Amino acid sequence: MRNNIVFSAKNISKFFGHGKKLVCAVDDISFDIADGEIVSIVGGSGCGKSVLAKIMLGLYAPDRGTFLYKGKPIVDTRDHWNEVQSVFQDPFGCFNQFFSIRTQLKDAFGILKNKPSKQEIEQRVDEALLAVNVKPSDIEGKYPFELSGGQMQRMLLARIFALKPKVLIADEPTSMVDACVRANILDYLMKLKESLGMTIVFVTHDIGLAYYVSDRIFIMHESKIVETGKPEEVTQHPKSAHTIRLLEDIPDINREWIKK
Amino acid sequence: MFKLLKNLIKEPMFVIGSVLFLTTILAGLFGPFLYVSMPEGATYEAPSATYLLGTDNLGQDYVALLLKGLQNSLYVGFMAGIIATTVGTLIGLFGGFKGGIVDDILNMFTNLFIVIPSFVVLVLVSASWPEGRSLTLIAVLIGLTTWPWTARSVRAQAASLRGRDHISLARINGATNLEIIFKHILPYLASYVFMVFIMQVASGILSESAISMIGLGPIGEGSTSLGVILNTAKNNSAITDGYWWGIFPAAIVITMIVFALYLLNNSMEGVFNPRLRK
């Protein structure tokens, strides 16, 4: 069982600033994430969920505690990114505006240790584009500012389909797109899990979305994980006051939403 | 790119600025070769049909002197601008992108240079170099004393880009620091750096004139600059004796180049900054 643990965090904390302005973004958090799991980290703005995602991705190192990937601390970030990749929140801000989309998708292969041949890269990019229902000819020679937000978010996912990492950290991939695209993106995430057996950490502020996709949900509030459990447990029998609040905030068509 | 040019051409400031600047550039580049200077005349001869702008204290034709001076002043301005912009941009980019201790050290270094009055350094170094002060030396000195402002503003811009998602994405794509700086940060700052460069050229021309005016400019055959013309005229009592043609044409040319560069810079800001776009 222990071999199957992908991420293991023991009492990790992360601070920003210093002196009087010291801010604790992640406060004494411990958890394990198993191979092949989809774990959602749910919380409001500023609760530290994105920082936690960046720690998992190796962009930040925790200031206290131990954080292990497959039983080892993250030493070489390039090695780490060979296996752990990410989709970010803002699809428009994610691509360099000065290079075409296809060039940037091909650039992504730079991280792989066993870099495929040029031909294979082209082929894998084409396959990845088809996996997210985009015809390769549609984006040929196009620059990021020529695509819509939904298309851009799919390009980010295409990058994941092309690289085929073992773990995906999806940091609010659905927060900046409309409802239809949101459903699409969730479908693609499920496809990634099913076809590649990917472990997915899904960061979101929407407990409703988390309920549909995850095996387990972590509820974060004020830099701490306040509740963990299976989606049914968390949504049917919430223990923490904050979880109850998150559940109450799910939009409901049949309920009067804004109290007059 | 085409749209950008179209927007620029609509801007009267840009049209006036570029016409003025192109005229001075063309005059500086080709003038000295095309203009056949008049033979030496009498000392301080007033402007006439033979000598369009009169003659100087040695009887030399002022038109020829001005064209040569313009060429040399532009050379110093551009050279100083290139040096200051390159040094400043590199230091600013690295500091802003790296952050932390590297940024602190580079910032301290930049502040140190800002605190030292650059003109005083220029005067002291020039004065301690009594012989063979070439145009290039003056240009290098100006460039090496004016980069800190560039570094500071570029640093601020680079630091604001550092936290962007496309930089994080480039990192998990396996880009090296150099690749990130030159591929993912510099293009975003290119228009800004270009504007800074224009200002540095203008200030280079002004600095050169100022240092030459007080007699610490380039010396030697063929190194007449606009500032040197002013200095020679001043030393040979052109001001006190009322030989206005020794002072005004050179002063007007300097003002015109700098004015043209400021106009260009201002009009470009109107185009590059979407908020000012009409």
Partner-chain contact B175 A107, CB within 8 Å: yes
Residues A59, B159: Cα–Cα separation, whole Å: 17
pLDDT in tens, B69-116: 898 999 999 999 999 999 999 999 999 888 888 888 998 989 988 888
- What pLDDT is stored for residue B1 in this prediction? 60
d(Cα B76, Cα B142) in Å, to the nearest integer?
A: 9
Cβ(A42)–Cβ(A246) under 8 Å? yes
C-alpha span between B23 and B211 (Å, rounded): 25
Identity of the amino acid at A98: F
pLDDT tens digits, residue range B164-220?
A: 888 888 888 888 888 898 888 888 888 889 889 999 999 999 999 888 888 887 887
* Per-residue pLDDT at B241 exceeds 90: no
Among A77, A89, A96, the residue with its CB nearest the CB of B184 is A96
Rounded Cα distance, B95 and B177, in Å? 12
Neighbour count for residue A91 (Cβ, 10 Å): 25
Whether B229 shows a pLDDT value over 90: the answer reads: no
What is the residue extent of each domain of chain B? 18-30+54-90+119-156+196-271
Gap from B167 CA to chain A (nearest CA, Å):
8
The contact set of B with A (CB < 8 A) is 164-166, 168-175, 183-184, 187-188
Nearest CA in chain B to A160: B173
At residue A236, the pLDDT reads 86
Spatial distance between the Cα atoms of B208 and B150, rounded to a whole number of angstroms? 19
Domains of chain A: 38-61+76-248 (3.40.50.300)
pLDDT of B62 higher than 50 = yes
Q: Does A114 touch chain B (CB under 8 A)?
A: no
- A145 close contact with B: CB closer than 8 A: no
List residues bridging with A68 in a β-sheet.
A8, A73
Q: State which residue of chain B sits closest to A80, comparing Cα positions.
A: B172
CB atoms within 10 A of CB A189: 22
- The contacts of residue A2 (CB under 8 Å, 6+ apart) are A71
Q: Quick: pLDDT tens for A194-216.
A: 888 899 999 988 888 888 888 99
Tens digit of each residue's pLDDT (9 = 90 or more) over B19-35:
999 998 898 888 878 87
ipTM for the assembly: 0.82
Q: What's the pLDDT at A1?
A: 44
Does A59 sit within 8 Å of B171, measured CB to CB? Answer: yes
By C-alpha distance, the chain A residue nearest B180 is A96
A residues 45..104 contacting B (CB < 8 A)? 57, 59, 77-78, 81, 85-86, 88-90, 93-99, 104
Distance from the A232 Cα atom to the nearest Cα atom in chain B, whole angstroms: 34
Please give the average per-residue pLDDT across B151-163, as a whole number: 89
Distance CA A42, CA A74 (A): 24
DSSP string for residues in chain A: -GGGEEEEEEEEEEEES-GGG-EEEEEEEEEEEETT-EEEEE--TTSSHHHHHHHHHTSS--SEEEEEETTEE---HHHHHHHEEEE-S-TTTSS-TTS-HHHHHHHGGGG-SSPPPHHHHHHHHHHHHHHTT--GGGGTT--GGGS-HHHHHHHHHHHHHHH--SEEEEESTTTTS-HHHHHHHHHHHHHHHHHH--EEEEEES-HHHHHHH-SEEEEEETTEEEEEE-HHHHHHS--SHHHHHHHHTS--TTS--S--
Q: Given this model, what pLDDT does residue A112 score? A: 85
Q: List residues bridging with B267 in a β-sheet.
A: none
- Per-residue confidence band for A187, with pLDDT thresholds at 50, 70 and 90: confident
Cβ–Cβ gap A96/B168 under 8 Å: no
Of A91 and B3, more confident: A91
| CA–CA distance, B59 with A78 (Å, rounded to integer) | 72
| Per-residue pLDDT tens over the stretch A218-251 | 999 888 888 898 988 888 888 888 888 888 877 7
Whole-number mean pLDDT of chain A?
Answer: 86
> For B120-137, what is each residue's pLDDT tens digit?
888 888 888 877 788 888
Range of weakest confidence among A159-163, A165-169, B51-55, B86-90: B51-55
Say which amino acid occupies B103.
D
Q: What are B252's two structure tokens? A: 């007007």
| Tokens (6 digits) for B36 | 């056949």
Which residues of A fall within a CB distance of 8 Å from B184? 96
State pTM to two decimals: 0.79
pLDDT of residue B275: 62
As a whole number, mean pLDDT of residues A104-112 equals 87
The CB density around residue A76, as the number of other CB atoms within 10 Å, is 9
What residues contact B245, with CB distance under 8 A and at least 6 apart? B46, B47, B53, B54, B62
The answer to whether the CB of B220 falls within 8 A of the CB of B202 is no
Cβ distance B166 to A85 less than 8 Å, yes or no, reads no
